[in-house]
Structure 1
């Protein structure tokens, strides 16, 4: 074998090994054209450092989409996630960022469709029975009306970006049960909220799979960092109130970013 042939052979082996072992490829090759859709968990509410152009959407430079783009240098990056977004407002107001050349899409949506903010406000301000009843109403909505709304959104994403790898990210469990909290919600309320998060993630995973999308849970990443864990990556009730029950900057970089990176 000639020196040139040997060099080509070794290069081929090295490329094959990189593919098998999942070694890092050039960032530009990995990134392509990335669009980040979704609600406050994607815009980065709670992480601070909001961009002036984003206004009330509160897009943060510390949010996982921006962090992923910084690390991977995609050839184009559109960050259009917005605080308060529902499946319908993502569909009507954000999908214009997609195109046939989009290669990667990330999205969080569904929590606001079932009244996430109202659930948490009810549980903080009212009785245990009222809290559990409100959580159960949200769970019922997750199982009845939300699947159809997700299907509609996912169909819209696919129609506008037919070649894209679409990653649907879930939501964390909020509480470590039997944890360090000595005040606030009861264990019954915390357990009901955690269960609702599990149900929501299950619905998201199923609808994503049906659409041919990839679901990436963040539950494992946030385990040990829930509220009442002693090392929470989530805000509890706080001022400004918009930060409440949203990931801190460390929750974006240590929770959501690895969840995206593991599948993107």
Structure 2
């Protein structure tokens, strides 16, 4: 994989030594030889908007977001968190400025704002409140065989690829990981005329038939992000498999994402503290995979 092989090995050795308290892998450089210099980039899913404690009102950044949780385990020689709510792949100039030729590790969570996913979820919530049966959201965005939301997701791919290329240009020695989003839509959804979980209904107002559509939206975004990362020399952290069963309809204490009315501190349709912890685990696991 372009730019990443040697420094991925170095970072892996350092992380294993720090996380497990044991020695570095045999044959790998000692962690002190190649210190980890970590820059975290991304949008509100990475900044953990609304999750305590918020340290930046401008960026809605938490000191318990997944980059901070990861940094507490790996103890990098340098750590810069420039994640910020509202960030898009098309407009990352402020965050890119944090990269240097000495940067050895970069995480990037981006793309949802380019596709305006939260806007879609909010609008679908309103449509579902007025028309709880059928699939009014899907029907609104899908006209004449063309789906506006899915097309926007397709367009995200080149923007993310360009962002990854620019990260490589500014930090040519860095191991770059593009992180996907945790799942919010239930994987097993009822039929359009089937029963809904009453407890979940208190947290979301999607029409019965739109849950499957929203699941398609998030799967398609995940696939586009993964393809852009892998074809441009970055690793992809797919958070969907681990988050099965932890969607917005899961019980409190199991749920990693919140719905329209969060019951744990976070922004609507964003990861809660458990989701951020899960993302940190998945990034770490991918680093020493």
TM over 0.5: yes
Judged with a 3 Å threshold, the aligned counterparts in structure 2 of structure 1 residues 204 and 227 are, in CA distance, closer, same or farther, namely same
In structure 2, the residue matched to 1:111 is: 112
Is 1:262 aligned to residue 262 of structure 2?
Answer: no
Corresponding residue for residue 212 of structure 1 = 233
Instruction: Find the residue that maps to 1:112 and give its secondary structure.
Output: coil
Residue 256 (structure 2) pairs with residue 233 (structure 1): yes
Q: Give the equivalent residue in structure 2 for 1:131.
A: 137
Separation in 2, partners of 1:239, 1:189: 20
**Structure 1, unaligned runs of 5 or more:** 1-20
Q: Report if aligned partners of 2:135, 2:207 keep a CA contact under 8 Å in 1.
A: no
**Any idea what the Cα deviations from partners look like across 1:98-134, whole Å, max 9, x if unmatched?**
0111000001110000111210111010145441133
- The residue aligned with 1:17 is none
Aligned pair partner of 1:154 in 164, 167, 181: 164
Q: CA separation in 1, counterparts of 2:266 and 2:53?
A: 14
Moved more, 170-179 or 152-161: 170-179
RMSD value, Cα:
2.5
**How far, CA to CA, are the matches of 1:202 and 1:156 in structure 2?**
21
Residue of structure 1 in register with 2:23 after alignment = none
What is the CA–CA distance in structure 2 between the aligned matches of 1:104 and 1:22, rounded to whole Å?
Answer: 12
Matched, 1:174 2:180: no
Evaluate the alpha carbon distance shift between residue 209 and residue 239 of structure 1 in structure 2; reply closer, same or farther with a 3 A threshold: closer
2:76 alignment partner in structure 1: 74
Name the stretch that deviates more: 68-77 or 168-177: 168-177
Tell me, yes or no, if the aligned pair for 1:32 and 1:76 is still in contact at 8 Å.
yes
Name the structure where helix makes up a greater proportion of residues: 1
User: Given that residues 122 and 130 in structure 1 are in contact (C-alpha distance below 8 angstroms), is that contact kept between their aligned partners in structure 2?
Assistant: no
Aligned counterparts, 1:1-264, within 5 A = 24-26=16-18, 32-51=36-55, 54-90=56-92, 92-126=93-127, 127=131, 129-132=135-138, 133-134=140-141, 136-143=147-154, 145-176=155-186, 177-178=188-189, 181-182=197-198, 183=201, 184-230=205-251, 231-238=254-261, 243-253=267-277, 255-264=278-287
Pick closer, same or farther for the CA change 1:22–1:157 going to 2, 3 Å.
Answer: closer
TM-score using structure 2 length: 0.76
Shift of 1:251: 0.9
DSSP-derived class of the 2:257 partner: coil
SS in 1 for 2:219: helix
Find the aligned partners of 1:163 and 1:134 in 2 and give their Cα distance.
42
Change (3 A) 1:242 1:46: closer
For the residues of structure 2 that align with 1:234 and 1:76, how far apart are their CA atoms?
A: 30
Structure 2, unaligned stretches of length 5 or more?
1-12, 20-30, 191-195
